[in-house]
Structure 1
Amino acid sequence: MKKNISPTLIYFFGAFGGFMFGYDIGIINGALPGIGTTWHITSWIEGFITSGLFVGAMIGASLMASLADRFGRRKMIMWSAIVFAIGALGSAFSTSVSLLIIARIILGAAVGGASALVPMYMGEISPAETRGKISGLNQLMITVGMLFAYGINYAFVHVFEGWRWMLGGAMVPAMVLLFGTFILPESPRFLVRIGKKELALQVLRTLRSPEEAENEYNEIVNSKHSDSGSFKDLFSKQALPAVIAGCLLTLLQQIQGANTIFYYSSQILAKVFGSAIGGVVSTVGIGVVFVLATIITLLVVDKFKRRTLFMTGSIGMGASLLLVGLIYPAAKSNHAWATWAVFFFICLYVIFYAYSWAATTWIVVGELFPSNVRGLATGIASTVNWFGNILVALFFPVLLDTVGLSVIFFGFAAICVIGFLFAKYILYETKGKSLEEIETYLYNRSIGKDVD
């Protein structure tokens, strides 16, 4: 363990995998029109190019998160950065649609790995009382990565085959993260599990005050549930309810409409504003709103119950999508008020999403699971998340051509109601509890002991 490393620097690089995640989510938004110009792709091929990333992400999330239980969180984050760089180069130099899709799958393996590893790592190194704020740095990095990508999209929108520069630009965050992994410490909880207790205590002393480090170290060491688990342990009475809740949580995050906006807003808003450049510029505006809303979220997230954030978010998201669906036909008819109303309610949706299902989902994913299966369970939940991504990315262009945007948004609004009911009746509260306290709660519930 290197001494005199700033905790702020550790948290920054720990969350930087989210920037890679966000960059590639945002960059495809602007790259697709240019790819279509190069190869004259159909809506189905457009869906395959977008969703190829998520096929790889399903593989990466399940594989890298489970390997993190064997080789450590830090080492697998390093491998995610390396694979991301390879996929970025492959995307930029693709000579056919087939090669581009293959490169996107490779890239997706890294993005999926980061999506599982970063929340797990941040959850394990953060103190309970500020875990929401610190773990939420991952979501801030995602939104900053998306905004940065939207800026790159704008810079290269008129450059010949500018999409190659857009996709190849992902090399930069990959190299930054790779550098950062050389100074990141390993998770103290993983170190205790593999018997490196003195090193775990050193890491905690870097991140906490001396008294806090001793107390947390003793809590980790005295936990009765820190041994490594197997796939079979996922189905134990203690773990299975948490795994189900985690999978439902990550699936609902994807199918309540957000990624329709983040992947295809340039196309959607181009139709609303009447020009391709209008779609790109307005998408940058959405990115700015998303970043600002996420920053505010990090300042207040630890003041509210996680379930409250999810429930109010679903209500606001559903109402915003319903209004967009109702107003969109008037916007297509070139009514100026409707055009700006659609843009306003999309931005309002992004605000509700930012503080609830965007930031809070990945905070909770890092908290939900027992320590012995945390890597496996996080990987499965992230895999489900990317499966939802595939559904949205693959079918949205086709649905847009067949049933239209209003019907799609009405459907997403209905799913927001399901999200509200899930948060109210199924999800359990994790705010302010240490990971060991959450684990004790799950154990007590599994043996029928009363829990609050």
Structure 2
Amino acid sequence: MKKKVSPTLIYFFGSFGGFMFGYDIGIINGALPGIKTTWSVNPWLEGLITSGLFVGAMLGASLMASLADRFGRRRMIMWSAVVFAIGALGSGISSNTSFLVIARIILGVAVGGASALVPMYMGEISPAETRGKLSGLNQLMITVGMLSAYGVNYAFVHVFQGWRWMLGGAVVPAIVLLFGAFLLPESPRFLVRIGKKELARQVLQSLRSSEEAESEYQAIINAQHSDAGSFKDLFSKMALPSVIAGCGLTLLQQIQGANTIFYYSSQILAKVFGSEIGGVVSTVGIGVVFVLATIVTLLIVDKFKRRTLFMSGSIGMGISLLLVGLIYPSAQANYAWATWTVFFLICLYVIFYAYSWAAVTWIVVGELFPSHIRGLATGIASTVNWFGNILVALFFPVLLETVGLSIIFFGFAAICVIGFLFAKYLLYETKGKSLEEIEMYLYDRSIGSVVGLMK
């Protein structure tokens, strides 16, 4: 590194891919009603337009994260920004629903790539003692991106074909990330693995004190660094526990009810409040709650064990969803107390989700895996995440028409119980551990030197 860049800027732009991720998750919430006005859209096509993003994201997560082990984290973040801009522009100028679905798939490739690359990159450049807070910037960026999208939705809700401005506006954050990526250093762990050890030391010195940089540099050098792992390596005794933990986390993050709220809250709350504008405005309120809860999470995340946050979050989320399912029929019957109680419970659910499965999942995914398969395994975990997204986005409109919201929320509450059990019995603790210490635990576990979970 010839020129020292502020660590603040590095962490900001390193996590900015999360903003793009969040914007496109949130923007479809307000764009769908306008799209349905422009074209005839049935529930299946509505689900396809929403889930097209996630089909592309499955491809992007596995492809770009795997390529990051070959070409570097920074370069692939830059390519994600380019693809994102192309997909956003295509979505905004779509001439029919087929064009829109294809553009959404292209956009999804970039979103999926960012979802895998950002946690990996942030995990590798952050110090162990504050890795939760710094890696959690990705989730803060996601929530700010979602809130920004809700604001854009509100601004263009009454504009003729305003959905085109909503979707096309994603070009702006893509350009910001592309130029910001030029300031990013490459991951020091990747640089060591490809033999650029002196450059890795320089990167660490730009982010740490001299003593901390040298200590971490020696730890990276002393750890075993092999060439990029193959798909077969995912099933080794050393790697498999981390792959199971990572894929389980990312799947459960998606199927415990959150995306039903974030993708379709405008429609859900429009039914509750009795108007489309009521649904959009209340969704902005949920976005504000999500951002504030995430900011508080970043202040406390390194003070609590990751597993504790997951388990308590699942309990709170499950109870909130159960109560929404019970009270929602009264809200539909226009009882004012029920209407506001449902809105309050959804906000409460968002708070529980924000400090647990929203923020901590991506922190832990950046920590779990051995270095030689980190890109590949992160890509697989992110692919599973997007598969869960597809299930929710594609089937929710149909289920809403057939079984109703209360039954859906009861089902999500049951899945929250599974999330609690998974965190308690299958997830090992990573708080305060360096990536090299986690890798050593996995190695010792594979040869039988340690038994059970790392606490």
Q: Which category of TM-score, normalised to the shorter sequence, fits these structures?
A: over 0.9
2:98 aligned partner: 98
Residue type matched to 1:286 in 2? I
Residue 309 of structure 1 corresponds to 309
- Asked if 2 retains the 8 angstrom alpha-carbon contact of 1:2 and 1:183, the reply is no
Residue equivalent to 1:435: 435
Matched with 1:344 is 344
Where in structure 1 are there 5+ consecutive unaligned residues? none
- Structure 2 distance, partners of 1:2, 1:371, is 27
**Would you say the 8 A contact 2:325–2:407 is kept in 1?**
yes
Q: Secondary structure at the match of 1:359?
A: helix
| Aligned-partner Cα distance in 1 for 2:422–2:81 | 34
Unaligned ranges ≥5, structure 2 = none
Q: Is the 8 A contact 1:65 1:378 kept in 2?
A: yes
Amino acid at match of 2:401: D
Give yes or no for the alignment of 1:266 onto 2:270: no
Q: Is the 8 A contact 1:64 1:379 kept in 2?
A: yes
Instruction: Tell me if structure 1 keeps the 8 A contact 2:53–2:107.
Output: yes
User: Is the CA contact 2:193–2:225 (under 8 Å) kept in the aligned structure 1?
Assistant: no
Could you say what secondary structure the match of 2:237 adopts? coil
CA offsets 1:326-370 (integer angstroms, 9 cap, x no match): 000000000000000000000000000000000000000000000
Alpha-carbon contact 2:62-2:383 (below 8 Å) kept: yes
**Cα distance, 1:225 vs. partner?**
4.1
SS of the counterpart of 2:203?
helix
Looking at structure 1, the residues matched to 165 and 323 of structure 2 have their Cα atoms a distance apart, in angstroms, of 37
Question: Which deviates the most, 334-343 or 233-242?
Answer: 233-242
Give the superposition deviation at 1:226: 4.3
Paired residue secondary structure (2:270): helix
Letter in 1 for 2:443: Y
In the aligned structure 1, how far is the partner of 2:91 from the partner of 2:264?
19
CA distance in 2, matches of 1:388, 1:330: 30
Query: 2:110 aligns to what?
Result: 110
TM-score (norm 2): 0.99
Corresponding residue for residue 158 of structure 1: 158
Matched length: 452
CA–CA distance in 2 between the matches of 1:366 and 1:160? 42
Q: Determine the structure 2 residue equivalent to 1:333.
A: 333
Mapped pair 1:320 → 2:320: yes
Shift in Å at residue 4 of structure 1?
2.5
- Determine the C-alpha separation between the residues in 2 that align with 1:360 and 1:233: 26
Which residue is equivalent to 1:422? 422
Residue 195 of structure 1 aligns to a residue in which SS?
coil
Between the aligned partners of 2:383 and 2:183, the Cα distance in structure 1 is 28
Counterpart residue type for residue 319 of structure 1: I
Q: Identity across aligned pairs (percent)?
A: 86
Runs of 4+ in 1 over 2 A off after TM superposition: 225-228
State the match for 1:131 in structure 2: 131
Q: Does 1:54 align with 2:51?
A: no
Cα distance in 1 for residues equivalent to 2:287 and 2:164: 21
Distance in structure 1 (CA, Å) of the matches to 2:2 and 2:256: 43
Contact 2:67–2:76 (Cα < 8 Å) also in 1: yes
**Following the alignment from structure 1 to structure 2, what is the Cα–Cα distance between the partners of residues 407 and 47?**
19
1:72 maps to a residue whose letter is G
d(CA) in 2 for partners of 1:330 and 1:229? 55
User: CA RMSD for the aligned pairs?
Assistant: 0.6
Residues 18 and 138 of structure 1 are in contact (CA less than 8 Å); yes or no, is this contact kept in structure 2?
yes
User: Structure 2: how far apart are the matches of 1:431 and 1:391?
Assistant: 31
Cα deviations across residues 265-293 of structure 1 (Å, max 9, x unaligned)? Answer: 00000000000000000000000000000
Report the CA distance between 1:29 and its aligned residue. 0.1
